[in-house]
Structures are given as C-alpha cells and as structure tokens.
Structure 1
Amino acid sequence: MRFVDTFFQHAYSSNPFIHKASFNVNTASRSLVLAILLFGLTYASPESASAYSEYFGMVEYLIFEGPEFQQLLRQKDHPVVSTAIIQLVQAAILIIELQGSQAKVEIKRRIRVQRLPALIFVVRLLNLTKMVNDTILDSHVVTLEEYLRKETLVRVMAWVYLVDAHCVIFYHSPPQIRLFEADFSLPMHDTIFDAIHPDETSSVTLDQRSQASPLTLRSVVQRLMEDKPIDQEAEPPQVNSLFGLFLILSALHCVLFDLQAIANITNTPDTLKPIERALDRWKLIWDSKYTEHQLSSIGPSGFMVHALEFWWLGKRLVKNPHMFSMRGEVAADSTGAFHEMIKSLKGGQMDQDVSQLPVG
C-alpha cells in the first residue's frame, strides 16, 4: 500500500519503535495500520493533510476510546504483553504525534492532558518502565526473535518517554515520567533493529557478546551527574545507538526542569551543577560517536540529527536559569514562549541550527 510504504521510507527514521522487517499489513492490528496510513499520508501529500484532519480525530477516538484500550485502563493486575497490546500502544504513540502537531489548541490540549497521561498509565501497567533487553544474540533465529521483541518493548517505552520530554522542552510542562522510575534499558544497536535479513546483524552480534549488561536510562543519567570521575574510555561503547544518546539528553532536560524549580525556591547556586556536568559528559560521548558515524549516517535518524541543538539549549538554560520563569505559563498550549526564549538565549537572533529544532 502506497501510504504504508511512504511511512517506512520517510517517517520510520523518526519513529524507530516499529520493527520494519516483521511488519505485515495483513496481520497487523487495524489501529496500527490506520495510524501508519495517516502518518504516510502526511508525508506523501503534506499539502492535503489538513483535508483529512477529521480522520485523525476518528482514529484517535478509535484507539483511545476503543474496547481494547479501555480494558487496559480498567486492569488491576499487570496483563501479559501480547503482540496485540504492543501494536495498540504503537498506534497510540503515532496518533499522539500526529494530533500533537495539529494547529488547533483544543486538539493539542486534549493530547497533552488526556491522551498522553492515559498512555503513560498503560506503559506503567505493562511494566515497560522496567523493560530491559538482556538477550545475548547468537546464531539462533529464536534468540534473534526474542531480542527483537524485547528491543521493540524498550523502544516503545523510550518513545513514550521522548513524547513526555517533548512536552517538557517545548510546552514547559512538568515531566510525567520521573527519572527514578526510568529503569528501562537504552535502545540498542540500530543496525540490528533496522536489519531486513538476519545476515546483516552478524558483525554487530559478535561485538555485542563482549558488552556489559544493558544500561538503564536511570543509571546512565545518574552516572553522568555524579560528582566523581567517569572512565570515558569505557562509556561510549555501551551507549551504542543514536536513539539511546538522544534519550539520555532528553532525560537531562526533564531533570533540568525539576532542578530549576528547586533552584528558584532555594536560591542555591550549585543546584544545576550536576546537570552541567552531565551535559559536558554527554557531549564527550556524542563526539566519540560522531567520529564513528559520519553525518550521512546520522541523517536518517530523523529529528535526532538535532541532538547538538538540544545540548546547546540545555547548556544555555543552565547558565541562564532565569529564562525558565520568563516563559510564564506552565503547560502552555503553543510553542510561542519557547521560540521567544530561544531568541532571548541567542541575544535576539536565532541561528539557523536552533531555528530548525523540531516542534509539534
């Protein structure tokens, strides 16, 4: 189907939480297929997307008000994470992205106030906040299937976290997922997850056997913030995906949001020091990866190519914490205050790189 192909050709790089090689339009859930179709439509015919906006709302309603999602909201115990549930959560993420990019304030507000909190409740219910991909790959197909299943769950959880962080950065919303509960592992090798044939994973498989246990988002952020030396020689190989690096940076922005609120109350000058330390260490890791992956290989990673601009923003906010209070409204309905803040941080002139920060 045209729009499904368009999604995987153009939108997938910005949404790497659906395993492309195993996706089958004939067996996938209706909700996921519809969400992918609409996403593909916005890329294939962006000028016509507004004409189909009512369908976006219909699919949103179908997903979040449908019996499957509503049943999850009523669950008392942790349900088994079936393929159907995984695809339902994936569909919910996609429609949140689509609807969150709409111009109408009421749609943006509904997504942030109703849909995203409901989705976060579901991933907590599914214990995805503790999901770790600890599968060691070998030559067995069964092992690869288990690896990909766990990696899909990790990436789904990571993407929900990124959506929450997006609201923190662009809409000045308090984070809903706190770092203390972020015990899910970092997304691992993009090469393995994006591979179409198992043979493409062989070189990465051999390298993975020598890796330590997978790092969780919480543990990495804590280590970067610690007031003691970190062995930089050992750190970069463990953060082995650009997705993982961007996730860490987004988490630092969420922690920065909370710490600046404390700093404004206590007037303690060193409150933001751990974040500044972590940002500097993150940059060292990024630079070590950037020398390995040229710009051509970073480009397909969608908006993650803007990671350095997000790093710049974090550094400037640490140096200018008063900018947080200047944004005024908490949980705003537009990105207007964000853009004004960027202009102020740049001395009234927004440079080209920062002006390209993706907003929704």
Structure 2
Amino acid sequence: MTPTSKEQCDICRLPFGPTTRDQHNRCPFCGKSFLRVDAATRHTRTCRARGDQPLPPIAKRGRRTRACDACFRVKVSCDSKSPCGRCSARGLSCVYGRFCVDPSHRPGVPAVPVVPVVPAEDGSAGSSPAVSPPRESRSMVPFLLNCTDPSANSVNEILANEPEKDVETPTAWEVVPLTDSVLGAFTIDPRLLFAGFLNQNLEPPEYDNTLYDHYWSGAVPASLTLDDEFAARVQLLLSELLHFMDARPQLGSGNDRFLLQTFFASAGCQMFMSSFFRRRHYHSSLIHWPTLNPGKTALPLLLAMLLTGAAYSHWHEAKRDIGFSRRLHVLAEKYIFNKLKMCAATAVGSRSSQETLEILQAAYLVNYLNIGINDAAVRQRVMAKRHPMLVAFLRTLGFMADQQHELSTEADRFVYRESCIRLVTWTFLTDCLFTMFFNNPPAMTLSEVACRLPCSDELWDKENLSVSDIQGVNDGIPPDDFTLKNILSGLLAEDGRTNGTATAYQDLTVRHLHAAIFALQPVIVNCRAMPLPDTVAKALLRALDRWRSLWSSAIDRVPADQRPWLGLVRHAPEIAWLSRRILETGVTGQGADSIYLRRVTTYDLADFHQFIKRYGGTRAS
C-alpha cells in the first residue's frame, strides 16, 4: 500500500519510521520523548545519559533559505521549485535531501532500531529505556559532568529541571485564591510582563502557556498570597534599588530602570517566591517557611529570594537581555553586602537581631546563586571578596558560636537557633565546595563549626512547633554534642568507631553524610598539598570506605518516593567517588599531567571538568 502524505517524508517521498515524526521532541541521549520541543530542549541540556557528548546544534530562528542540493553545493540562487529551474535546464536530478527530517533516509546512515515508547510518570510523552549509552560508557559521576560542563550557561539551569516538591500533603498549606488585583495582571499576555527580555528582533520567547496555571493551581503557603502588605514590601524594595542605582550610575543605564520595574511586577514576584518555595529542597534549607512573612522580611533577603526563585523558574528560558540579567545580579549583590556592612557596624558588641540574621542569609543566597553562573569574573568576585566577607561577618557577629537569642516563645528561640546553625553549616559546606571544584584555599576551619548538626527537615518544615517537638530534637540520634567534627573524627579514626558511638553513626541521615563528605575536602586538599606520610592518604581512603557503608544504610532508610526531594544531597556518592579518584591519582602519580591536580586556584570549571572526564572513571560493563 502506498503511504499517505502524513506517513512519508515530503522531501524524499520515503516512508517515515514509526517514531521519526517525534524525533525533534526526543532526547538524543536517553530517548525520552516530550510533548513540546522546548521541554525536550531543556531536558537535553541536563540529561544524565549525556556524559561528555556535545549538545545538538541549536537551530536558528527565522525562515530558512530553501535551495536544492545541487544549487546549494555550488552556492547559486535556487527558485525552490520541484524541480527547480536550474536543474530542469541542465537535466540534473533535483532533490532537497538536506531538509529531510528522517536520519535513516540520509545516505550512509545506519538504521536506528525502533523501540516502543512507553508513558512516562513525569507527564512527558514517553521514554525509551532501550535507547541509552552503552554500559561501559556510563560515567560514575554524570551529575558532576553536567554541572561542570564549561558550555553550560549556569548550574541553576540544571537545578531548575529538578522535580518540584509535593506541597499538598501538609494541611497547613492552602490553595491561594486569586484576587481581582492578581487576575488583572493576567488579562494580557503574560509574556508582555517580560517585554524587556525579548531579543532585538522582538521575537516572542519560547513560552509555555501552562506555566502560570502550573504555579497557581498547586498549593502554596498562605503567607505567599499576594496581599497589600507583600505588594507594598516589593514596591519599597524596588524604590530602594532605584535610589541605590541612581547613586551608582555604573550599575545600570536608563533603560535598566524600566527593566527593573518589569522584573518586580507584583504577579511575577509571587511566582518567583512560589518557585523558590517549591524547589527549597534543592540545596540549603535556610528559610523557615512556616514563619516566613514576605510583608515583613528584611529587604535584602526578599531580594535574594526573588532572584533565586527567578533562577529556579522558567523565567530564565525567555530570550531576555542577558546583559541586564548580569547587571541585576551585580546590583543585588552590591545592595545586599552594603546593607550587611551597615547592619554589622551597628550590631558589633550587641546581641544579633533577626534582621541581622536575615541579611546574612541574603548574602549567602546571592553568593551561591552567583557562583552557579558560568562567568569567571563573577566567580572570582564571589570567592575572593564576597565569600570571605560573609565568613568574617559570621565570626565578628558571633554566629560561629551557638546562638541563644532571647525571644518570647520557646518555638521562636528554636527557629532562631536552628536558622543560625543552618547558615553556618551551609556556609562552611560551600567553602568546601569552592576548595574541591576550584582549588580555592579554605576560608573556614572545621573547628569553627562547633554547633550541632541541623535538625531533620520534617521538624524544620513543621508549621506549629510544640514544646514536646522542640524537647525531642535531641532525644534521637545524633545527640546535641555530635557535631560535624565528631563525625569526621570517627571516619578517620584508625580503630573505627567505639561502641558508645556506633549506634550514633549507624543512624546518621543522608543529609549528615552529605555534609561529612564535603567536610573531608579540605583534608584531602591538605593531603595533596603537603608532603604527608602515606598513612594519611590510607586513612582518608579508609574513611571513604566507611562513608560508603554508612551511606548505603542511610539511603535504604529513605522511602523511594521521597528520594527525588533530596536535591543535591542525593549526588553525594559522586562526590565520594571523585574524592577517591583524586586521592588515588595523587598517590600513584597517574594524574601528573592534570592541570587540576596542580592545585592552582581557577575561577572556571574547565580544568576540573577535564579531570572528571579523564580520571572520574566509568561503570564497568
């Protein structure tokens, strides 16, 4: 039977393969299919099966010049008819094979085996498990390969494709009713809210029409409802930023004022806050969402949260003015650290306030946000100036010590103390990340992190904390004096863990072990940098073996349906594996030609990425 026009290629007149018509919506690395081209494009950039393979070429916008193959080869004008006038006059075969969308129709291309497409659970059109790289080529560190890829614009794009947290379980959250003022913002095309981010040709961005429905249909905290207090706070923040920009003309041009006002559109700000909340599990849970009131939050923290939410939302997909985006980050960074200096000058010698804590949280968030941007100048500014400044303020203001703030209720005191613990812990872990990824000298020491380990996320996310909840924080394991330093001491001990602490180690959670593997990085760097005896490297390798055993036990206790919400924590085994390879290549001298192992501080990830590709190792077949 002759195939119909829908079943054959309009160019070659050859029949399509069963799945060829969906090839442009399919990931070329893992075979997963999507209903939309833009969704497939986003997935392809962060696909774990990609490894070190290059991305497919990006198709250019606009109408394509259409010439037959013969005219194209000699670079002459073609009237695009079938056959064209030039080929007809010369008696040539006129074909348009370059425009065929089916790779199997091209000469010399082997046929691709057809595999059934099965429905995917994440709402995509389907996935094809059979289309995957050979087992021997699967890297042991696929996430690290992706996030260190120099061609990636930002690590935040990888994080933005992570699954969102299911927020419908807690009864305290409620569906946000859309008020008339909010609905009014959507009487026009929402793309116009970001008109300043269109490209110079005024072409509309690749826009997902379900984006706003997605954010408004789910459950969000009642505190994130766009009310007058929240809107007034946003306007106050915008006013301060405009005045800050006016006093520093180098931070922006006249057009940036309009773009800044566009960014702070009230409805967009609520979307950014909602995006940050839904993806709060990605990295560091610094914010206590049950008690957060955006209408009263310190302006620097509100700004940092909005920028983080924008990075984690699909806003970054718009073809916006990249220059303004970078200037906005610089403006926010300078504004936040200027506020921190002013606040620290008045807080020295007195007990730190909630406002001081929130500004320090803002400084941490903007630092971590900027370090994910693939820009050496931005990273150098963060690691050489902003991060040491944050660490210095934490020391000066006494946050390194266990904070006991005088507040009205036991629950408020617990939230304040836990917020300080999480801020200091994650600042230290970020410092360790800089050491491992960029060979940056440590700015903090393990002995400074004298606070206990953060409490469980279940307790941290609980809305109404009771006295029994707070008193029961330390009833389990680890105990109050079981610090990060104690965990590393046990991992590095020659005779292993004592009977008195064996149970404590066995009950460590995946988040505790994630912190422990990062805390080992400064020790590993010292082992590589100093002429220490071989016993030190052997102790570190033994510690990694113990860590792996503890991790296997800890991850087994996490229900399978909860593991997607572990965020970056679930990639801790990759850090452990790469730490082992760093030690082994250093001991054996195998990596003598690696630039990364020369311990020179760099502000891009090219050297680290090359080390991972060459020495990171692959799975055995």
Q: Does 1:60 align with 2:333?
A: yes
Post-superposition CA distance 1:149-199 (Å, at most 9, x none): 211111000110121111111111121112232212211211101223437
Give the Cα–Cα distance (whole angstroms) in 1 for the partners of residues 434 and 525 of structure 2.
11
* Partner of residue 178, structure 1: 445
- Taking a change above 3 Å as real, the CA distance of residues 79 and 219 of structure 1, as seen in their structure-2 partners, is farther
Out of 457, 460, 480, the position equivalent to 1:213 is 480
Q: Tell me, yes or no, if the aligned pair for 2:414 and 2:470 is still in contact at 8 Å.
A: no
Out of 492, 504, 518, the position equivalent to 1:235 is 504
Out of 389, 412, 415, the position equivalent to 1:118 is 389
Q: Does 1:35 align with 2:304?
A: yes
Give the Cα–Cα distance (whole angstroms) in 2 for the partners of residues 132 and 297 of structure 1.
32
Post-superposition CA distance 1:116-157 (Å, at most 9, x none): 000011111233333379xxxxxxx93333222211111000
* Partner of residue 16, structure 1: 285
* CA deviation after TM superposition for structure 1 residue 301, in Å: 2.2
Post-superposition CA distance 1:24-58 (Å, at most 9, x none): 10010000001101111112212247452221111
Letter of the 1:170 partner, please give it: F
Q: Which has the higher contact order (CA 8 A, sep 6+)?
A: 1
Q: Does 1:161 align with 2:425?
A: no
Which stretches in structure 2 are left out of the alignment for 5+ residues? 1-269
* CA deviation after TM superposition for structure 1 residue 280, in Å: 1.9
Letter of the 2:422 partner, please give it: R
Give the Cα–Cα distance (whole angstroms) in 1 for the partners of residues 346 and 614 of structure 2.
47
Alignment of 1:58-97 (within 5 A): 58-66=331-339, 68-72=340-344, 77-97=348-368
* Partner of residue 340, structure 1: 610
Post-superposition CA distance 1:204-263 (Å, at most 9, x none): 965742553331111221122111231474123653x4332211110011211112212x
- Give the % identical residues: 22
Q: Which has the larger radius of gyration?
A: 2
Out of 389, 399, 403, the position equivalent to 1:128 is 399
Q: Please, what is the CA RMSD of the aligned residues?
A: 2.7
Post-superposition CA distance 1:84-116 (Å, at most 9, x none): 011001100111012112232211111110000
Q: Does 1:7 align with 2:276?
A: yes
Please give the secondary structure, in 1, of the residue aligned with 2:520.
Answer: helix
Which stretches in structure 1 are left out of the alignment for 5+ residues? 134-140, 352-360
Give the Cα–Cα distance (whole angstroms) in 1 for the partners of residues 444 and 592 of structure 2.
20
Give the Cα–Cα distance (whole angstroms) in 2 for the partners of residues 3 and 55 of structure 1.
15
Q: Tell me, yes or no, if the aligned pair for 1:78 and 1:127 is still in contact at 8 Å.
A: no
Give the Cα–Cα distance (whole angstroms) in 1 for the partners of residues 541 and 582 of structure 2.
10
Give the Cα–Cα distance (whole angstroms) in 2 for the partners of residues 27 and 76 of structure 1.
20
Out of 257, 261, 286, the position equivalent to 2:529 is 261
Letter of the 2:276 partner, please give it: F
- Taking a change above 3 Å as real, the CA distance of residues 246 and 175 of structure 1, as seen in their structure-2 partners, is same
Give the Cα–Cα distance (whole angstroms) in 1 for the partners of residues 291 and 347 of structure 2.
31
Q: Tell me, yes or no, if the aligned pair for 1:224 and 1:281 is still in contact at 8 Å.
A: yes
Give the structure with the higher percent helix.
1
Give the Cα–Cα distance (whole angstroms) in 2 for the partners of residues 218 and 78 of structure 1.
28
- Taking a change above 3 Å as real, the CA distance of residues 316 and 30 of structure 1, as seen in their structure-2 partners, is same
Give the Cα–Cα distance (whole angstroms) in 1 for the partners of residues 346 and 413 of structure 2.
26
Give the Cα–Cα distance (whole angstroms) in 2 for the partners of residues 202 and 305 of structure 1.
31
* Partner of residue 601, structure 2: 331
